[in-house]
Amino acid sequence: MRKVSLIFGILITANYCFGQTNTFPSSGNVGIGTATPQGALQVMNSSAGFDGSNVIYLTNDNTSYGRTNLILTGRLTNSNDAWAFGSGARNSIVFNVNQAADGANVGAIGTEYYSIQLEGNSKSLGFLSNQNGASPNLVLLQNGNVGIGTTSPSGKLTVDYSNGDPKSLSIFSSATDLVNSPIGGLRFSWYGANYADIQMVRGNDAIDGLGLAFLTSTSNSGTTTEAMRITPNGSVGIGTASPQSKLAVNGTITATEVKVTQTGWPDFVFDRRYILPALSTTAKYIKVEHHLPGIPSAKQIESKGLNLGNMEQKQMQKIEELTLYLIQAEKSINELRNQNEELQDAMKEFKQTQMALEKEVKQLKKHKMK
């Protein structure tokens, strides 16, 4: 009896709204606004035009609790429960939102806040909101691609935020008890048990910030191992989870070029006021300390490591000092060479004089014998 009353209520309402042709046969299809209904009940408002009046308006005036206004059940030809509607290029299901705190006012049909839109041209399903106008907030294409902020996603998930907000995709965790531990992230998987993770890692306390850990897996192991970490203060660790500098690598680094920019390059060695250490002093230091002055010892490097930039400076200072030593040595060698040439010339003159004297002595002896 209640179903009959509902049907008659719908018929009376529709008949009041549309002064059009209706048909109510004792058997067969019922038509409101049409004399040739194509189904058990067809309601047509052919004169409404664009944004015309509502065809069927169902409402529940109960301000506290209500019942479902419309229930559709049945099966389509493929034996699946479904609700099929619309045959145009664009069809929408529109939802109003309750603007009153007590639930008394639910707004009016035509003032849409949220809607689901079926797009026939692109074969897509879109979810819209009034604030975003006619552009869907979320789109599901026929090929399975999902777009957020875009109607043409190029991958399985495409997020586009055209106003340049850096937080286009946000991952949030409310965990408060996981200190210095992962509290959420992303997992990538491929073929079997091969995984790669990007995890948010909380610091030691709530004010210690948030870092990122990058994990990989090998040989279909099903487990991931941390390969790199970025700490809350911006330090990067590769092969270590606790970098003590801006970049810490637990392993071998291979590079085609490394550029270090710093101040304090030791050109002061070539200043005229620079006092070059005597080699004898350096020799005494080496004999006692077993390493060059100003250069860390093997034990110091083993315990504290090697500062490449600082070591480059110290090595360059030693190279420049060595260059000065070589210049001094060359100067001394040239002086010795000149002295040697002078001695050789003197010896040559001495030999020539000696030979002349010996010749005169022989002649004198020969003359005396006569």
Cα–Cα nearest to 297, from 276, 284, 309, 311 = 311
CA 352 to chain centre: 90
pLDDT at 313: 92
Residue with tokens 């250069």: 295
In 3-state terms the chain splits into helix, strand, coil percentages (rounded to 5) of 30, 20, 50
pLDDT at 84: 53
Convert the pLDDT of each residue in 82-98 to its tens digit.
Answer: 455 555 555 556 555 54
pLDDT values of the chain reduced to their tens digit, one per residue, 370 residues: 454 455 555 555 555 544 557 888 888 899 888 888 888 888 887 665 555 566 677 666 666 655 566 666 665 555 444 455 555 555 556 555 544 443 333 334 444 456 677 766 667 777 776 665 667 788 888 888 998 888 888 888 888 876 666 666 777 777 666 666 777 888 888 887 888 999 888 876 655 788 899 999 987 778 889 999 999 889 999 999 989 889 999 999 999 998 888 888 999 999 999 999 999 999 999 999 999 999 999 999 999 888 888 899 999 999 999 999 999 999 999 999 999 999 999 999 999 999 988 888 888 877 777 6
Question: How far apart are alpha carbons 236 and 214 in whole angstroms?
Answer: 11
The domain locations on the chain are: 1-45+54-59, 84-160, 182-249, 267-360
Average pLDDT of the residues of the chain: 78
Question: How far apart are alpha carbons 11 and 132 in whole angstroms?
Answer: 37
pLDDT at 194: 86
Identify residue 124 by its one-letter amino acid code: S
In the chain, the DSSP E strands lie at 22-23, 30-32, 41-43, 90-95, 114-119, 124-129, 138-140, 146-148, 157-159, 182-190, 194-202, 210-216, 225-230, 236-238, 247-249
Residue with tokens 């989870």: 241
Residue with tokens 């004010």: 207
CA 171 to chain centre: 14
Convert the pLDDT of each residue in 166-185 to its tens digit.
Answer: 666 777 777 666 666 777 88
Three-state secondary structure readout of 163-176? CCCCCCCCCCCCCC
Question: How far apart are alpha carbons 83 and 115 in whole angstroms?
Answer: 16
Question: How far apart are alpha carbons 319 and 341 in whole angstroms?
Answer: 32
| pTM to 2 decimal places | 0.55
Q: How many CB atoms lie within 10 A of CB 36?
A: 10
Helix (H) or strand (E) holding 301: helix 298-304
pLDDT at 362: 84
